[in-house]
Structure 1
Amino acid sequence: MALLTISSGAAFADNDVDEVCTSKPGVRALKKYPDVYNFYYENDLFAGTDNNYTSGAKFSWVSANLEDYIHDPCLPKWVRQLNRISEMVQPGVFDTRNMVVSFGQEIYTPTDKYRSDLIVNDRPYAGWLYLGLAYNARNDKDMEVTEIDIGMVGPASLAKQSQDFIHRIRGIDRFQGWSNQLNNELGIQFVKERKTKIFNYSRPNGPKIDAITHYGYSLGNVKTYLNTGMEVRIGTYLPNDFGTSPIRPASDSNAPLPMNVSHRLADGGIHAFVSVDARAVARNIFLDGNTFSDSHSVSKRYFVGDVAAGIAWQWVGGKITYAQYLRSKEFRGQVKPQSYGSITLSLEY
């Protein structure tokens, strides 16, 4: 299904949608509305460091609206049959729905890049290369996200090669201890998250303010946790979505379009935001080590939090966001909390 959605391209139906979908079902005829393409890049070099969660990159494709996953004539019949599982994982009545397909990589390293031996009191070398498929469903004030990520941890994640390539281009010394990274392991992560707009203030020619809460959980051998948090935004224009999008499961804020709206990025403006996210962590493979084989591990902290502040500028057809994140200590022996920067570019086409 992920391959099917990725291959949809940017072809849209010019004729009546129902007629097109009835005569020629397929993802290419989802809607005559444009899709959104998101490009994410995160790195702790923005904070002048090079360790812990040191780099992340993700590309995501956000589909146009689906009427639903089960009966939408724009989806092939076999896809609609597969999607019947969504009735179990995402019950409820929602106004609009869409899908998100993502591909990403994350890189984790200890602090000392020059040691080639195993650093027993620092976090393991690790990488995570994954493909994700998410369903978004929204009403005016609520959005529910169901996502599954499947990928590889270990040498198959190509984390070493990716980091070496970037460091070589930038003339930065390479890390010498990648021979101690986690072993290859198939990773699966199932995530549910619900977001709610609890406050919305707007006056003509005045500032716009809103507040969005979120809570959810993740299950899998990669990460298992409960999380909750909130974001507050203020600016000349606030997108009709559900907040900022860092690289984490269920974070894509490009929600399904509201009813009778044809474009996500149809207006321009600027806004600032602050956000918090708190997690109770039962498992984190990047600290606990491999699930089915012996590997390096450290003693993780069971409660972790993120605080972020940033700014977003939106124009007709695009949006760029920058945020600086501060993450609390994740394991025993970690010297200090971590900071990293995040850039997101969204294009509507």
Structure 2
Amino acid sequence: MRAISPPWAGLVSGCALLCMACTAQADDAYRFTLLEENDSLYADSDRHYTQGLRLSVLTPVIAAQDGWNDAFDLVYAAGGSASVRRVGLFLGQSIFTPEDKVLPQPDPRDRPYGAWLYAGASLLQETDRRMLENLELSVGLVGPGALGRQTQNDYHQFIGVAEAHGWKNGLQTEPGVMLTYERLWRLSVLGDADNGMDIVPQLGATIGNIFTYAGGGALLRVGKNLRGDYGPARIRPGLSGTDYFDSDRLDGALGFYFFAGAQGRAVGHNIFLDGNSFRQSPSVDKNIFVGDIQAGFSLFWSNDFHMTVSAVRRSREFEGQNSPDLIGTAALGFSW
């Protein structure tokens, strides 16, 4: 299931309206990214974390007189001229299913049906062109209102594939919230800070009734114009370079890099494995320690266009899971 279904028809206009809340510098632009994560992009699979779709917009640099600075000043130390501040706004949906979707009553030993429909904002502050901080808040809904059944079965019907029959026995309705703080560093290994090889380590933690975990990882990159960003964006809980991008850092318009990375997480709570917080629902015994490895390629032309493709191998997330999962990612972006 790779297509965008009717529930997403309003995403672009929604993000466009949200971004108008920020005061832009006249010579800058908003940067939009559509990110798809799907286990069937590069493999014949349709299970577990089966699809994620996320539309985000990154604002221009926040001007000194902008009201967003009040929010930044509450959580970050003032960096003066050494700091660059941007806001990221996003909408998304993630879908989770068991391996066998024919059964009306799903296997209780397999992952439950569940979906997460959400929106949020990130406060992104870069300091000295080498360190990025991100404070992110996501709010949304789990359960039937997250439209997982409609998204999956409408597409399956469109391509002539059997529908999933167990959605009515999945997670129940529950509002959700997640707060994330993470810090990333950009360290040159070979060449200079723009061209050659660098490593981007990161540490962070998320707390909420959807996910609660602490994680750390690193991304190794080889290419040109590495100071444009901190790696490609990913849907949580993946290893992400965030939506941050700064075309002012580029030496020429063309940029590209190959990347490979890994992240380990200590998971305190995962609603899609543990079940609903306050209601009876299906659940399985989760693994506390989970890891991802990923590799891919990113290409961009200044702030006007960017494209990223990658593959992610995720370790077993619950007891009894037969094998690790392979997740494909693809992202396209443009400025406006």
Measured against the shorter chain, the TM-score band is: 0.7 to 0.9
Alpha-carbon spacing, 1:4–1:168, altered in 2? closer, same or farther (3 Å): closer
RMSD: 2.5
Query: Which of residues 63, 77, 82 is equivalent to 2:59?
Result: 63
Shift of 1:98: 0.7
Partners of 1:100 and 1:186 in 2: CA distance: 22
Query: Which of residues 249, 256, 274 is equivalent to 2:260?
Result: 274
1:1-349, aligned counterparts within 5 Å? 6-7=16-17, 27-45=22-40, 46-67=42-63, 72-75=64-67, 83-84=70-71, 86-91=72-77, 93=79, 95-139=83-127, 140-202=129-191, 208-248=196-236, 251=240, 253-255=242-244, 257=246, 261=248, 267-316=253-302, 317-349=304-336
Alpha-carbon spacing, 1:5–1:170, altered in 2? closer, same or farther (3 Å): closer
8 Å CA contact 1:109, 1:125 repeated in 2:
yes
Shift of 1:103: 0.1
8 Å CA contact 1:264, 1:348 repeated in 2:
no
8 Å CA contact 1:97, 1:135 repeated in 2:
yes
Shift of 1:229: 0.1
Identity level (%)? 30
Shift of 1:29: 4.0
Amino acid of the structure 2 residue aligned with 1:215? L
Larger deviation: 276-285 or 314-323? 314-323
1:167-211 Cα deviation digits (max 9, x unpaired): 12222221111111100000000000000012343269x961111
Alpha-carbon spacing, 1:313–1:179, altered in 2? closer, same or farther (3 Å): same
Structure 1 residues not aligned, in runs of 5+: 11-25
- Pairs aligned (count): 318
8 Å CA contact 2:133, 2:182 repeated in 1:
yes
1:91 counterpart SS class? coil
8 Å CA contact 1:5, 1:27 repeated in 2:
no
Partners of 1:313 and 1:107 in 2: CA distance: 28
Amino acid of the structure 1 residue aligned with 2:152? Q
Alpha-carbon spacing, 1:272–1:257, altered in 2? closer, same or farther (3 Å): closer
Shift of 1:257: 3.2
Shift of 1:251: 3.5
Alpha-carbon spacing, 1:265–1:40, altered in 2? closer, same or farther (3 Å): farther
Structure 2 residues not aligned, in runs of 5+: 1-12
Partners of 2:170 and 2:18 in 1: CA distance: 37
Partners of 2:93 and 2:333 in 1: CA distance: 18
Shift of 1:241: 1.1
1:168 counterpart SS class? helix
Shift of 1:6: 4.3
1:57-112 Cα deviation digits (max 9, x unpaired): 00001000114xxxx3233xxx66xx44x434333535110100000000000000
8 Å CA contact 1:9, 1:28 repeated in 2:
no
Amino acid of the structure 1 residue aligned with 2:262? V
